[in-house]
Amino acid sequence: MNSRNLSIIAGVSYLIIFFAAIFANFFVLESITKSPVETIQNNQLIVRFGILAFLVVVVFDVVVAWALYKLYQSHFLSGLSTLFRMMHAAIMGAAIFALPMALTSTTAPEILKQIDMFNTIWLIGLFFFGLHLILLGRILKKPVIIALFLCIAGLIYMIDTAAHFLLANYHNYQSLFLALVAIPSIVGEMALAIWLLIKGGKNQTET
């Protein structure tokens, strides 16, 4: 498969991840967090679609990892970068196990316990995802602005995960960390997806 096709596959997969993750996180998990019992009892179909959306994220995360590896396999960091992204996908896949358990829970504390378990396990996965982004930024080099945002996002992912476990009062800074993680990651990864779709792989020297 040529570089251009690999780049398009990576870009399209990234967009699928974005939309699936937005639905699963901001429509499903947020609803459960705000109204645990009501959401589980009255909107089970939406919750099940949310679980499916997370599975879609994992599948296409693996596709992105493979496509980026094939695109940049000549770079000495490509294999390591791919392994860190695969670790993230595997850990996230394991985290999803907690969500179907919430469907059988009947009280708010039980439901929220499963959601917390999912978030905590996924948080560990995001530490490795951060490492992947830093290495990916180093591999890309150009466009410089995208590579920079990827490195910054990766570093903040790792800092955020560490802060969760090191700061007893993390909740006091949660909104700040959320903003710090969201801005560079959304800008960097969305820009990368668009660049992959429009320009990625056209220059054979990139591979």
pLDDT tens sequence across 105-121: 989 999 999 999 999 99
pLDDT tens column, 129-184: 999 999 999 999 889 999 999 999 999 999 999 999 999 999 999 889 989 999 99
DSSP character for 74? Answer: T
Q: What is the DSSP string of 125-194?
A: HHHHHHHHHHHHHHHH--SHHHHHHHHHHHHHHHHHHHHHHH-TTGGGGHHHHHHHHHHHHHHHHHHHHH
Angle between helices 108-140 and 78-95 (to 10 degrees): 170
pTM for the model: 0.92
Residue 4 has pLDDT above 50, yes or no: yes
pLDDT of residue 205: 44
- Placement of tokens 């939406």 in the chain: 46
b/e sequence 108-136, b meaning 16+ C-beta within 10 Å: eeebbbbbebbeebbbbbbbbbbbbbbbb
Tokens of 7: 């780049």
The SS3 call for residue 201 is coil
pLDDT tens column, 16-67: 999 999 999 999 999 999 999 999 999 999 999 999 999 999 999 999 999 9
Cα distances from 7 to residues 72, 82, 168, 186, in angstroms, run 10, 15, 42, 19
Residue 206 has pLDDT above 80, yes or no: no
